[in-house]
A and B are shown apart, each in its own frame.
Chain A
Amino acid sequence: QITLKESGPTLVKPTQTLTLTCSFSGFSLSTTGVGVGWIRQPPGKALECLALIYWDDDRQYSPSLKSRLTITKDTSKNQVVLTMTDMDPMDTATYYCVHQYDDNAFDFWGHGTLVTVSS
């Protein structure tokens, strides 16, 4: 059974760097075709795809946020980490971790973690 769980701070100050961790089970990021990504949802707004990392360490970033995002994986720990620099109140959102296989749709989602950016 595949599960994903997001963890990280619930409150960050403007200009700070956000670090989120996705801990997963039921699959390995060393398996060919597997990917893990991050999606966010500002309160009352639509979903936005931020970044994806694949089994072969290939990475994709949203162009509008690319300069602020870094996604990494630790296969031995079954974790994926997303860092976002220079946080702004507009970055307040629920951040979801997702599983993807073979470039297919996101078939498993974490419960999400709400991050508020405020001084």
Chain B
Amino acid sequence: DIVMTQTPLSLPVTPGEPASISCRSSQSLLNSDDGNIYVDWYLQKPGQSPQLLIHTLSYRASGVPDRFSGSESGADFTLKINRVEAEDVGLYYCMQRIEFPYSFGQGTKLEIK
């Protein structure tokens, strides 16, 4: 199985400040046929089910604010929040979708300072 490793596991952020979460995969997530990178990001707000934020590396899901963005840098995938708001608290997960079983990172808990 592909292992997804997230850092940091805990992320205290002041409202209005940026935040960044990294995810590294144990294998390439690049599909050589279509050129896409199959990593997704989910947010699980307290007491809720996970919700899709970003799919296929950098595409925002429907209704997701544009302060959220996804990118890659070398072997790392990054979720960035431009200006954190109080409603952004929760657990953030990356997930690889290049091969089954799809696998998730351990989760990063974002909290407001």
List residues of A whose CB falls within 8 A of some B CB: 46-50, 52, 60-64, 96, 103-107, 109-112
Contacts and interface: CB of A to CB of B under 8 A. Distances in A.
Contacts of A63: 1, 101
B10 to A, nearest CB: 14
Contacts of A47: 42, 50, 93, 95, 104, 107
B56 A105 contact: yes
Interface string B90-111: 0001010100111111110000
B107 A46 contact: yes
Where chain B touches its partner, the secondary structure class is: loop
In the complex, which range does the number of interface residues on chain B fall in?
A: 20 to 34
A49 B100 CA distance: 9
Contacts, number: 56
Contacts of B52: 105-107
Contact of A49 (B51, B102, B105, B106): B102
A49 B101 CA distance: 6
Q: Which 3 A-B pairs have the closest CB atoms?
A: A105-B55, A109-B49, A105-B40
Contact of B100 (A46, A52, A64, A107): A52
B112 interface: no
Contacts of A61: 101
B99 to A, nearest CB: 10
Given A46-B104, A112-B49, 4 more contacts: A46-B105, A50-B101, A62-B100, A64-B101
A49 B56 contact: no
B30 interface: no
B86 interface: no
Contacts of A52: 100
Given A103-B97, A105-B97, A49 B103 contact: yes
Interface string B43-84: 000000111100110000110000000000000000000000
Given A63-B1, A109-B49, A109-B51, A46 B56 contact: no
Contacts of B97: 103, 105
Given A46-B104, A46-B107, A63-B101, A105 B61 contact: yes
